[in-house]
Amino acid sequence: MMSENKSTLLPIHQTDFSEDASPKVSVVVMAYNQENFIRKCLGSILMQKVNFPVEIIIHDDASKDKTSKIISAYAKKFPKIIKVFLQKENQFSKQIKLRPHLLKKCKGEYIAHCDGDDFWTDPDKLRKQVEFLDKHAEYVMSFHDAVAIDKMGKLIVRNVLSKSSRRDYTKAELRILKWGWMLFGTIVHRNVAIEFPPEYNLVPNGDNFYPMLLATFGAAKFHDDVGPLAYVQHDGGIWSSKSKIQKNEMHMRSYFAIVGYFVRMGDREAAKALISSRLLKYIAAYIN
CATH number at residue 72: 3.90.550.10
**Interval 85-107: pLDDT, tens:** 999 998 888 878 889 999 999 99
pLDDT above 60 (res 6) = no
Residue 186 lies in a domain: yes
Please, what is the average pLDDT of the chain? Answer: 90
The proportion of the chain whose per-residue pLDDT surpasses 90, expressed as a percent, equals: 64
Q: Considering only CA atoms, which of 203, 202, 30, 21 is closest in space to residue 101?
A: 30
Residues 191-201: b if buried by 16+ CB within 10 A, e if exposed: eeebebeebbe
Give dist(CA 226, CA 147) in Å, integer: 12
Does one domain contain both 216 and 254?
Answer: no
Are residues 126 and 183 located together in one domain of the fold? yes
In the chain, the number of structural domains is: 2
Task: Please give the pLDDT value at position 194.
Answer: 92
- 3 lies in some domain: no
Tell which wins on pLDDT, 5 or 239: 239
Task: Indicate the range of 3-7, 17-21, 210-214 predicted with least confidence.
Answer: 3-7
Residue 255 lies in a domain: yes
Average pLDDT over residues 188-192: 98
Looking at the structure, do residues 91 and 116 belong to the same domain, yes or no?
A: yes
pLDDT for residue 36: 94
Same domain, residue pair 143 and 206: yes
Is 259 within the bounds of a domain? Answer: yes
64-69: average pLDDT: 96
Local confidence band at 3 (pLDDT 50, 70, 90 cut-offs): very low
Quick: pLDDT tens for 139-167. Answer: 999 999 999 998 888 999 999 898 988 99
pLDDT at residue 5 is higher than 60: no
Q: Would you state the pLDDT for residue 238?
A: 62
- Determine, yes or no, domain membership for 112: yes
One domain, residues 184 and 249 = no
Same domain? 18 vs 55:
yes
The listed range with the strongest mean pLDDT (44-48, 173-177, 237-241) is 44-48
- Residue 172 lies in domain: 10-237
Within a domain: residue 170?
Answer: yes
| pLDDT at residue number 41 | 97
Say yes or no: 233 and 247 in one domain: no
23 falls in which pLDDT band (50, 70, 90)? very high
Instruction: Evaluate whether 228 touches 144 at the Cβ level (below 8 Å).
Output: yes
| Cβ 31 vs Cβ 116: under 8 Å | yes
> Does residue 137 have a pLDDT over 70?
yes
Q: Over the stretch 263-274, which tens digit does the pLDDT of each residue have?
A: 999 999 989 988
Dihedral angle sign, alpha carbons of residues 222, 178, 257, 33: negative
One domain, residues 107 and 65: yes
| CA 12 vs CA 2, 29, 76, 120, 135: distances in Å | 11, 15, 15, 14, 22
CA distance 254 to 51: 39
